[in-house]
Amino acid sequence: RKKVGVLDVQGAVREHLLALKTVGVKAVSVKLPEDFDELDGLIIPGGESTAIGRLIREQGLEDRLRTFYKEGKGIFGTCAGLILCSTDESHETNDLRLGFIDIEVERNGFGRQVASFETSLDFTGIEQKVEAVFIRAPYIQSVGPGVKVLAAVDDKIVAAEQKNVLVTAFHPELTEDNVVLNYFLNHFVGLSVTN
């Protein structure tokens, strides 16, 4: 049976574990390098990207995370997780950027004052509209040539994929429909889940 891990250092960990259980997937919390060993996919949750990045480094998880990526295992970064997966070509920050997907990100891109909002999105590859909850969300300001854009709010890109990595600026674990999670499981983890 396939197993999906949720990186458990800070952020919306429980919500993702719950969503995975709801769709019938074996879900495990990932705190130690050895926790990665039997996983078929990993979710990097939303939260606070500076804090999550610092804890990844402090807890010695960075190398294992990078090998997991190189092994081609499915990775899904949501919100702060998207920020962590992005590149930082201009080296503007010392915060951890894993460079798993060739995107440049504007943190808190919808304005710090806009604490949160919800909207319904067209998402390439998903037939129905996707309910999307944004919480002090980033957006993707530019994508490299290998990146497929999946969704946008006005001109702001909010979902994309490249090779084994999927990212969304919103929190798919906070809505009742599990369509984006199912998209990840079907296309990146090799499961067959129906909506």
Minimum distance from CB of 108 to ligand GLN (Å)?
Answer: 5
Per-residue binding letters, 59-98, with ligand GLN (x by CB under 6 A)? --------------------xx--x---------------
Nearer to ligand GLN by Cβ, of 87 and 186: the residue is 87
The answer to whether 135 and 172 are in contact (CB under 8 A) is no
Query: Minimal CA–CA distance to 172: which of 46, 4, 58?
Result: 46
Least distance (Å) between residue 2 CB and ligand GLN = 26
86 labelled binding-site residue: no
Distance from the Cα of residue 89 to its chain's centroid: 20
Residue with Cβ nearer ligand GLN (36 or 170)? 170
- 49 is an interface residue for ligand GLN by CB under 6 A: yes
Active site annotation includes 79: yes
Do residues 189 and 176 lie in contact, with contact meaning Cβ atoms separated by under 8 Å? Answer: no
Helix residue spans in the chain (DSSP H): 13-22, 49-58, 62-70, 80-85, 179-188
Smallest gap from Cβ 57 to ligand GLN, in A, equals 15
Q: Say whether 131 is catalytic.
A: no
Residue 108 as a binder of ligand GLN (CB under 6 A): the answer is: yes
Asked if residue 174 binds ligand GLN (CB under 6 A), the reply is no
Q: Does 48 bind ligand GLN (CB under 6 A)?
A: yes
Q: Distance of alpha carbon 126 from its chain centroid, rounded?
A: 17
What is the rounded CA–CA span in Å between residue 81 and residue 24? 23
Place of tokens 């949750």: 45
For ligand GLN, the closer of residues 30 and 105 by Cβ is: 105
118 is catalytic: no
CA angle (69 as vertex; 98, 62 as ends), nearest 5: 50
Question: Could you tell me how many residues make up the chain?
Answer: 195
User: By the criterion CB under 6 A, which residues form the site for ligand GLN?
Assistant: 46-49, 79-80, 83, 107-108, 135-136
Active site residues per annotation: 79, 171, 173
